[in-house]
Amino acid sequence: MLERQWGNIRQRAGTVTTGVVTFLALVWVGSGSAHMWQLSPAVTAMPSLGDGVVSGVFVAGAACAAMVTWRRHAGPVTGWIVGTGALVAAQALVVTLLALQSAPPRGPVSLTLLVAAAVVGLATVVGPLLGLHRKGHVLDEGFTIGLGMGLVASGHLLLQFPIARPPSALMEVLIGVLVATHVAVVVLVLRQGALSPAMSALLVTTALVVVAGQLVHAFAGAHAGLDAAVTIARAATGAVWLTLAWVSLRRGLERDRRRINDFEHVLVSATRDHKERLHELRSTVAGLVTGSELMDRSDVPAEVRERLWCSLRRELDRMERLLSGQDDAATDIDLDEALGMILDLQRLKGRRVEFRSNGDVVRARFDALAEVVNVLMDNAVKHGGADTSLVEVVRRDEENVDIRVTDYGRGIPQDQRASIFEWGRRGSQSAGEGIGLHVAQRLMTEDGGSLRLAEPQAVGSSFVITLPRARRSPEAGPMTTGSTTHAVSDALTMEDGRAWRRSG
């Protein structure tokens, strides 16, 4: 919270500093050339570098705002409307460039050309705005800033060519057309009522300052007081619009940064989800491959083959759910039956598994339980170098049941025990992706249980799965694991002579 407040304070301070510095720079440039064009008819000159830079900044700002707004509101007519600020600046730029080609007193041909350029600009700007009532949605922050920058650019540009005193009739017509352009634009925009009161007031103020500057420049002569007032007013409005443009740009960048972060978050989440699903699918396919290979063996007893077929059917159902993105429903699971089926496949892989159970029943998803047990036992072989494990079912209390899975391998180094459940965390010698234990813990959490690493032991490692006990009524029937009920025999002997047992 304090960091956010400090960030807001820094942003406000930066905004104020930007506005003050911009205002002082514009006052300095304006005061340096306030009397530049109060010339006798015989004198000619070129605009100062400062005036050119300031005018260029505002013209570029109006053009950039128009382009950004056009990208949001693309369309033939809409494109002309959103470019209003840039068109106002373009009118002033064309008139100024033409005026600089000849010094006062100008002949009728030159003045007629200037008036014609101004009239074309007036029609180009005002014409599209007459249909603004049908395109009112474009009057957003970008449009308003672009229009304000265009007006300020026009105010700076039109002061950069000399006017003979007193102005001729055609020059008065030219000034009238330019003033009419600025007034008409603001009136047509404000009559839509789409802008905030503050923005509306700022637009009106900017138009009045620009018009006042043109009138003072044309008719007042070298009046120090009026020149200073117009210069300060023009600098103040320009500083406000530049500051608003800077704030808007900063907000836009911040929004883009948040969108990129959100996209990256979604992409990472989708990638993680994809990898986790792929991990579960890979585990299921491995079980199917092992089971299918065993089904092809002629020395597998009929009883084992029947149990193996039940396990394969369940793995096929699980694979179908994974591929379709569906989750197995939580049911009451008889741990004798469920773990018996899960461990059968582990034993048929040639692993020694001792199973001790008390006949408890839990509420969970069989797919999730199978995935967790398989991850723990596969990890024991891959990373712990142990093919001997002990699985014990112990009632923790009246609400929960513990399933302890213990192996007798190399164990987990002390410096890795605190982070083994983190996504992507794996040992330096591990060839895996560091996903299995994270997925296993998540699955148990989703089922209202937990998965944790037990206290260190002398040899190997031990994990504890905790699941909620099922609440059964006295009249409830036998528990099932999904839709199949299966009784597991007490002993089977594999071809290689390995044996396993279940003890109550």
Give the count of domains, the chain.
2
pLDDT of residue 499: 33
Q: Are 470 and 331 in contact (CB under 8 A)?
A: no
Any bridge partners for residue 500, and if so which?
492
DSSP state of 489: P
| Confidence check: pLDDT of 49 > 90 | no
Q: Is residue 232 a part of any domain in this protein?
A: yes
As a whole number, mean pLDDT of residues 273-277 equals 69
Confidence of residue 489 (pLDDT cuts 50, 70, 90): very low
Lowest mean pLDDT among 63-77, 276-290, 474-488, 490-504: 490-504
Distance between CA 193 and CA 187 in Å, rounded? 10
Percent of the chain with pLDDT strictly greater than 90:
26
Same domain, 108 and 243: yes
| CB 300 within 8 Å of CB 272 | no
Both 253 and 303 in a single domain?
A: no
Residue 457 burial (10 A CB sphere; 0-12, 13-18, 19+): exposed
Taking the C-alpha atoms of residue 315 and residue 311, their distance in angstroms, rounded to an integer, is: 6
Residues 6+ apart with CB under 8 A from 365: 327, 328, 329, 330, 331, 443, 447
Q: β-strands 352-356, 388-395: how paired?
A: parallel
**Angle at the Cα of 313 (from 310 to 314), degrees rounded to 5?**
90
**Which residues are registered as beta bridge partners of 468?**
400
Q: What average pLDDT does range 64-80 have in this prediction?
A: 79
The whole-number average pLDDT for the span 360-371 is 89
Q: Match 């006017």 to its residue by tokens.
A: 163
Q: Which residue has the higher pLDDT, 214 or 297?
A: 214
Q: Are residues 207 and 343 in the same domain?
A: no
From 205, 238, 261, the end of a domain falls on 261
Q: Are 414 and 387 in contact (CB under 8 A)?
A: no
* Same domain, residue pair 351 and 427: yes
Co-location of 466 and 342 in the same domain: yes
pLDDT at 396 over 60: yes
Residue 280 forms part of a structural domain: no
194 in the same domain as 63? yes
Range of the domain at 62: 2-261
Q: Do 79 and 180 fall within a single domain? A: yes
Shared domain for 304 and 439, answered yes or no, is yes
Claim to verify: residue 360 and residue 223 sit in the same structural domain? no
Asked whether 171 and 218 are in contact (CB, 8 A), the reply is: yes
pLDDT, residue 112, reads 93
The reported pLDDT for the residue numbered 425 is 67
Same domain, yes or no: 244 and 166:
yes
Of all residues in the chain, the percent with pLDDT exceeding 70 is 76
Name which of 373, 462, 351, 352 is nearest 411 in CA terms: 462
User: Which CATH number characterizes residue 370's domain?
Assistant: 3.30.565.10
HEC string of 50-117?
A: HHHHHHHHHHHHHHHHHHHHHHHCCCHHHHHHHCHHHHHHHHHHHHHHHHCCCCCCCCHHHHHHHHHH
Please check the confidence at residue 15 and state whether its pLDDT lies above 70: no
Q: How far apart are CA 148 and CA 62, in angstroms?
A: 8
Q: How far apart are CA 189 and CA 135, in angstroms?
A: 11
150 within some domain: yes
Distance CA 265, CA 267 (A): 5
Write out pLDDT tens, residues 99-158: 888 777 788 899 999 999 999 999 999 998 988 888 878 888 889 999 999 999 998 888
Domain boundary among 215, 243, 261: 261
Q: What is the mean pLDDT of residues 369-375?
A: 88
Provide the token pair at 84: 């209003």
Range scoring the smallest mean pLDDT among 1-10, 192-201, 289-298, 309-318: 1-10
Q: Supply the pTM of this predicted model.
A: 0.55
Distance of CA 87 to the CA centre of its chain: 34
User: Is 291 within a domain?
Assistant: no
- 337-360 residue pLDDT tens: 889 888 877 877 778 889 998 889
